[in-house]
Amino acid sequence: EIQCGKNFTRKGNLILHLKIHTGEKPYLCKQCGKSFIQKDDLNRHTRVHTGEKPSLCKQGCGKSFIQKHDLTIHTRIHTGENPYQCKQCGKMFNQKGHLTIHSRIHTGERPYQCKNCGKAFNQKIELTLHMRAHTGERPYICPCKECYKCFGYIALSYLRLHQRVHTGEKPYQCK
Residue 22 has a CB neighbour count (10 Å cut-off) of: 9
pTM over cut 0.75: no
- Among the listed residues 119, 132, 124, the one whose alpha carbon sits nearest the alpha carbon of residue 159: 132
Digits of tens for pLDDT over the chain (175 positions)? 557 888 999 999 998 888 888 889 999 999 999 999 999 999 999 999 999 999 999 999 999 999 999 999 999 999 999 999 999 999 999 999 999 999 999 999 999 999 999 999 999 999 999 999 999 988 888 887 677 656 788 888 888 888 888 888 998 888 8
Q: Report the b/e string of 30-67 with b at 16+ CB within 10 A.
A: eeeeeebbeeeebebbeeeeeeeeebeeeeeeeeebbe
Q: Specify if 155 maps to a domain.
A: no
Query: Which pLDDT does position 150 carry in this prediction?
Result: 63
Q: Specify if 21 maps to a domain.
A: yes
Q: Specify if 19 maps to a domain.
A: yes
- Among the listed residues 74, 78, 41, 79, the one whose alpha carbon sits nearest the alpha carbon of residue 56: 74
Q: Specify if 144 maps to a domain.
A: no
Q: Are 121 and 112 spatial neighbours (Cβ–Cβ below 8 Å)?
A: yes
Q: Specify if 27 maps to a domain.
A: yes
Q: What CATH number is given to the structural domain containing 27? A: 3.30.160.60
Number of domains in the chain: 2
Tell me the percentage of the chain whose pLDDT exceeds 70: 96
Structural domain boundaries, residue 129 = 84-135
Q: Specify if 174 maps to a domain.
A: no
Q: Taking the chain, what is the end-to-end CA distance rounded to the nearest angstrom?
A: 65
Amino acid at 110: R
DSSP state of 64: E
Q: Specify if 92 maps to a domain.
A: yes
Q: Specify if 45 maps to a domain.
A: yes
* 131 in the same domain as 88: yes
